[in-house]
Amino acid sequence: MKDLTTKIFNTDFPRKDPYGSIHFPVYDNVAFEFENSEELARTFAGKTDRHVYSRITNPTVAHLENRIKNLTGSLNVIATSSGMAAIANTVLALVQNGDNIVCSKYIFGNTYSLLNKTIKKFGVETRFVDPCDVDEISEKTDDKTRIIFMETITNPQMVVCDVEKISEIAGNSGAVFVMDTTATPPPVFEALEYGVDIEIISSTKYISGGATSVGGLIIDYGTFDWSQNPCLENDYRKFGPYTFTAYMKNEVHRNLGTCLSPHNAYLQNLGLETMQLRIEKSCSNAVKIAKSLLDMKRVKKVNYPGLYDGNSKDMTKKYFNGNPGSIITFELESRETCFGFMDNLNLIKKSTNIHDNRTLIIHPASTIFTEYPAKERENLGVSDSLIRLSVGIESFDDLTNDIKQALDKEEVVRNVK
């Protein structure tokens, strides 16, 4: 895991702070004053780096974008109001009626809903595939495929795909390779190194610094030839490699109003400064907890990348330097057993977020996938016996003791019944 904290601390302010603050200030305002009309007109025309209105750009938000750009080596970054806003903006920028998207069938519930329901209303087809079956991905990709969308580690199925092979398929077909890397943000996964064109991160998670604020990031690595995309080919003549960012800033992101609030950007700038420390602690806890779950008799199966020999372990070693993140899913006997176990926990919180400082737990089938019937949930790899654990930075001993006592208490209850 590369050390990125120094890069974060050493991203320069665009202008020297008049008071010498070492934290970039929060510009929690809407509009900005100009000395003369000509400068205002030039700024609206995109000929200066000034800010006019916080729905479009804001200094505090721009500093967060610049920090992410610096630590990822990307061409441009756009901060949005949420991770889902980042995905929706990216999709709407790249597809039009008659196009299709090839997407992993194992994805976060709201992403599945966006691509399976919402985007369908605009005449865009989503073809869901097994992310580990490169032949199926290749077969489903054609000259109308504008996006191949994957997650580095699927939530909550914990499946790892072969990023480089999928990148090659996308490159050969003229599709943009988009990856949601929320489960493996920098410094765990280096998207640019493995051929990702657009990286999506929910900054609500690790970056926010303990679930302080909602936000999302669209990271453009400048690797895609935008003249190949029908939505952007005309803009390419004017903006070249900056086409995607210009189109987002000047149309999609601006018109949809999905801006990140300045206050949230300020909180996420603070969160960035301790992100690597928190990632290291939570991932270290997760590895040990996953292994300990294997020895707990009530646990039927543990899903954690790299835990077993095989393709998943190889991919984890290759793409994440052996670091499989801090999310674990495991199976108990039934939905009733899952609920009983969760209600017996004292330290671990029943909550839907991931990558909080706290350890959180949910039952995916009855929460983030509750809108889907049982048969569809089964096809999505979400059973009624599945539990998702997002491991935090508490003491490993305290966490495992809480899990053990909750399982033991549920065992007693089951035996009495």
pLDDT at 85: 98
pLDDT tens digit string along 304-325?
A: 998 887 778 889 999 998 888 9
| Same domain membership, residue 112 and residue 259 | yes
**256, 271, 286 - which closes a domain:** 271
What are the φ and ψ backbone dihedral angles of 180, each rounded to 5 degrees? -90, 110
pLDDT at 417: 54
Distance of alpha carbon 25 from alpha carbon 298, whole angstroms: 51
| Same domain membership, residue 345 and residue 229 | no
| Same domain membership, residue 383 and residue 240 | no
Alpha helices in 149-211 (DSSP H): 163-173
Tabulate helix, strand, coil % of the chain (nearest 5): 45, 15, 40
CA angle 327, 329, 334 (to 5 degrees): 155
| Same domain membership, residue 109 and residue 202 | yes
| Same domain membership, residue 319 and residue 254 | no
Per the structure, the complete domain to which residue 108 belongs is given by 5-271
Q: Which two tokens stand for residue 405?
A: 């006592």
| Same domain membership, residue 334 and residue 198 | no
| DSSP string for residues in 289-306 | HHHHHTT-TT--EEE-TT
| Same domain membership, residue 366 and residue 317 | yes
The predicted model scores a pTM of: 0.94
| Same domain membership, residue 191 and residue 104 | yes
Distance of alpha carbon 339 from alpha carbon 283, whole angstroms: 25
Q: Which two tokens stand for residue 335?
A: 């939905």
| DSSP string for residues in 66-94 | HHHHHHHT-SEEEEESSHHHHHHHHHHHH
Q: What is the domain count for the chain?
A: 2
Distance of alpha carbon 305 from alpha carbon 151, whole angstroms: 13
Q: Are 169 and 148 in contact (CB under 8 A)?
A: yes
**244, 271, 298 - which closes a domain:** 271
- CA-CA-CA-CA torsion sign (408, 409, 412, 413): negative
- Strands of the sheet with 176-180, listed across from one edge: 76-80, 216-220, 198-201, 176-180, 145-151, 100-104, 125-129
| Same domain membership, residue 295 and residue 245 | no
Per-residue pLDDT of the chain (417 residues; tens, 9 = 90+): 567 788 888 888 888 888 889 889 999 999 999 999 999 999 888 888 899 999 999 999 999 999 999 999 999 999 999 999 999 999 999 999 999 999 999 999 899 999 999 999 999 999 999 999 999 999 999 999 999 999 999 999 999 999 999 999 999 999 999 999 999 988 899 999 999 999 999 999 999 988 999 999 999 999 999 999 999 999 999 999 999 999 999 999 999 999 999 999 999 999 999 999 999 999 999 999 999 999 998 999 999 998 887 778 889 999 998 888 999 999 999 999 999 999 999 999 999 999 999 999 999 999 999 999 999 999 899 999 999 999 999 999 999 999 999 999 866 656 555
Residue type, 310: G
Q: Under DSSP, is residue 172 helix (H, G, I), strand (E, B) or coil?
A: helix
| Same domain membership, residue 379 and residue 261 | no
pLDDT tens digit string along 70-126?
A: 999 999 999 999 999 999 999 999 999 999 999 999 999 899 999 999 999 999 999
**226, 255, 271 - which closes a domain:** 271
CATH of residue 72: 3.40.640.10
Determine how many CB atoms are found less than 10 A away from the CB of residue 368: 20
Strands (E), 105-144: 125-129
pLDDT at 311: 79
| Same domain membership, residue 266 and residue 251 | yes
| Same domain membership, residue 139 and residue 21 | yes
Distance of alpha carbon 185 from alpha carbon 176, whole angstroms: 20
CATH of residue 322: 3.90.1150.10
Residue type, 205: K
